[in-house]
Each structure stands twice: as C-alpha cells, then as structure tokens.
Structure 1
Amino acid sequence: MKRLLIYGGTFNPIHRAHLHLAREFQKRINAQKVILIPARIPPHKEAPNLASGEDRYQMCCLAAKEESGFEVSDMELVREGPSYTSDTLEQISREHPDCELFFVTGEDMFLTLLTWHDSQKILKNATICGAPRSRSGLFRMRAYAEKLKNYGGKTLIEDISYLPISSTMVREALQKGENIRKLVPDSVADYIEKHSLYQERKHESYTL
C-alpha cells in the first residue's frame, strides 16, 4: 500500500523548518508523496497578517518544486468555511483508497488533537505524526500518544532535530528589512519581494 504524508497549515509563509519536518517524515515512513495543504481559515489559532490564499498557495508550490515527491493541494482554499483537518483527511481518503495516510503536525498542535473538530474522524483516517520542538516535548508527546491510542488512534513520534524557524520570525524579519533567505527557500523569498508581502514597516510614534 502506498503511503501519503499530509502536511496542512497556514504556511504564512512556508519556511525551511516546515520543509525539514516534512522531508524527515517522508524518509522515515518511505512516503511516495508529500501533500502540502495551505489552510483557507485556520480553526485552531490566530493568523495575524495572513497573506491571501493564492499567495500562500503559490509560495508552497515554489517550495515544493525543490523537493522530491512534494506537491500542493488547494482543497482547503476552495472549500467554504474553516479548514477542518477531519474534512480534508476524509476527502483524501476517498480520493486515494489504495493509500495509507499519515498526517504530520508539530508539538503544540499534536498535544491538543483531541480538542480538534471531529477528532475521531482524524484518528480514523490517518496515522498522526509528530516531532518535539522543546526539551520536554518528546516525553509529553509520547504520553499524549498513549491517550490517543485509547481512542483508536495510531501515532508516530520521532525525535527530529528542530530548526528554530517560525512564520512569525519570517514576517518580523521582513518588517525590520532583514534578509530572510536563511529562513525560507530562495524562490519563496523572491516571491515575497516581488509581491511586497509582509513588509509593512512598524513605525514608532514620538511625543513632541
């Protein structure tokens, strides 16, 4: 049975740590394909300074071109309402009945999975993959994985080296006029520059 690795997120913008995590899980589970899925409306977190769905989709496409076996889906961008992972995994499961699905997430989101919309459907349709981003994270994630097992969930926790990069860090660097090429692929940096994304400078106010 073929294996698909699903990685959803706001990708605002996509950066090197996203790609590193997906690439490592791709190797460890021998996934034939990695599908990046930018969210239309993220239901689990605030998304300040959110670029348009089209811009985030195009940046994901540029990043995916540099990776073997990576592709991008706009299924959440064209779906009305919040981008629920349960709906996404159910759709992919229907479209790829001959494939085993693996859904990758970071530490923070993994540890809240049972609070997600229709979490039982998520656990039914995919093995949940996660990696820690803190020293205590591995222990906490493995403990939470045992809890998910009680709900019929399958998990894969891997101690993957963490790249200290976030989308917030990229946006803040741009607002300060700093070079972001160590944080995002060159093609993504070029796209951000060409379309002037995230570059509203913060102005200090002075009292005279």
Structure 2
Amino acid sequence: MIPAGNPWQKEGQLVATSMQRLEMCRLSTSGNPKIEVLDIEINRSGPTYSIETVLELEKNFPAFEFSLVLGTDALKNIMTWHRVDELIKKIEVLQLLRSGEKINLTDIPVGIDVKIVEGAMLDISSTLIREKVAKNVDVSELVDSKILNLVKGIYGA
C-alpha cells in the first residue's frame, strides 16, 4: 500500500497531509502481515505521479509484479494522469467494483486493459466519510476504530 505523497489532481481540496495519510495506512493495516505500507511517494518532493512510483518499484523490487488498484471514479479519470500511456503498458490495472455495482463499459477508457474485481469493495467512499465527519455524523461503523480519532481530527468540524 502506497499513500499519495503530493496528490497533484487534488489541489485546492481539503486533503490529509502526506504524513496523516501514511499514518492512516499504517494504523489500518497493522496486524495484517500480508500488507506492507511503503512511504516512497511521501519521501519524494514535488507532485507525485504513479508512473514514477511504478518505475521506482520495478527498480527496487525487480522480482515482483505490481497492480494498480482503482475504484470506478479513479478509472474514469485515468486518462488525465501524467504519462498514462507509459503507465498502462507497465502495470496491470484492476477495477474494484462495490457490491452491487454494475460494469459500465463506457467508464473504461479505450486502450486500457482492465481486470474487473467484483464485490471487492464496501459500498462506501472516502468522500462520503469525509462529508459525514465534517457534519459530525457518526462514522464508527464505516471507519476502522484504529483510525477513527485520526480521521475525525483531520476532517471534523
């Protein structure tokens, strides 16, 4: 798991700092030895681009193959990403569908080979959680108890 360092497409939006994103990832995956949180984007200065992360992963972990895991909204915007043509040639793209979500082929950009993973995501979104926290609505059933206070501190009213 690699939290974004400087998410250049979210300029002007309220986002957690890179260190807060790193901490949320570490807390939410603690106790799961199958998931490693890497801070390679956090340690990079300037805007962070997925292609640069993939190139660094290939250099540092040549024996591994990596996948780019995206929800539907992120997949719709992938063609706006920096050096996307190079990126999609280097890495497998997985689209995670929320439970009950239908595949809309028009959402998959032309030229991208996407593997669909159905029912892999809960029917929640980070946007929904941020909005609820900002309105002081209880999200304890949506957010892991290990990171709930951190999320409230970042996005709370």
1:84 matched to 2:49? The reply is yes
Amino acid at match of 1:93: E
1:126-177 Cα distance to aligned partner (Å, 9 max, x none) = 1111134585534335x53xx325xxxx431222255232222222222222
Identity %: 27
Does the CA-based 8 Å contact 2:6-2:18 persist in structure 1? Answer: no
**Residue 156 of structure 2 aligns with which residue?**
199
Quick one: distance in 2 between partners of 1:110 and 1:60? 21
Aligned counterpart in structure 2 of residue 173 of structure 1, from 111, 116, 132: 132
CA 76–163 in structure 1, closer or farther in 2 if over 3 Å, else same: same
CA distance in structure 2 between the aligned counterparts of 1:188 and 1:139, rounded to whole angstroms: 35
Question: Between Structure 1 and Structure 2, how many residues are aligned?
Answer: 156
Cα distance between partner residues in 1 of 2:136 and 2:80: 38
One-letter code aligned to 1:117? H
What residue in structure 2 maps to residue 137 of structure 1? 103
Report if aligned partners of 2:25, 2:37 keep a CA contact under 8 Å in 1.
yes
| SS of residue matched to 2:65 | strand
Which position in structure 2 is the counterpart of 1:69? 34
- Taking the aligned partners of 2:32 and 2:39, their CA distance within structure 1 comes to 18
- What is the CA RMSD across the aligned residues, in angstroms? 2.4
Task: List, as ranges, runs of 4+ consecutive aligned residues in structure 1 with deviation greater than 6 Å.
Answer: none
1:93 to 2:50 alignment: no
Question: Which residue of structure 2 lines up, in the alignment, with residue 57 of structure 1?
Answer: 22
**Unaligned ranges ≥5, structure 2:** none
Q: Which gives a bigger RCO, structure 1 or 2 (Cα 8 Å, sep 6+)?
A: 1
Counterparts in 2 of 1:1-208, with a 5 A limit? 36-46=1-11, 48-133=13-98, 135=101, 137-141=103-107, 144=109, 147-148=110-111, 154-160=113-119, 162-192=121-151, 196-200=153-157
TM-score, L = length of structure 1: 0.65
Q: Deviations over 1:105-145 (max 9, x none)?
A: 1112213323321112212321111134585534335x53x
Residue 89 of structure 1: how far off its partner (Å)? 0.6
Q: TM-score, normalised by structure 2?
A: 0.83
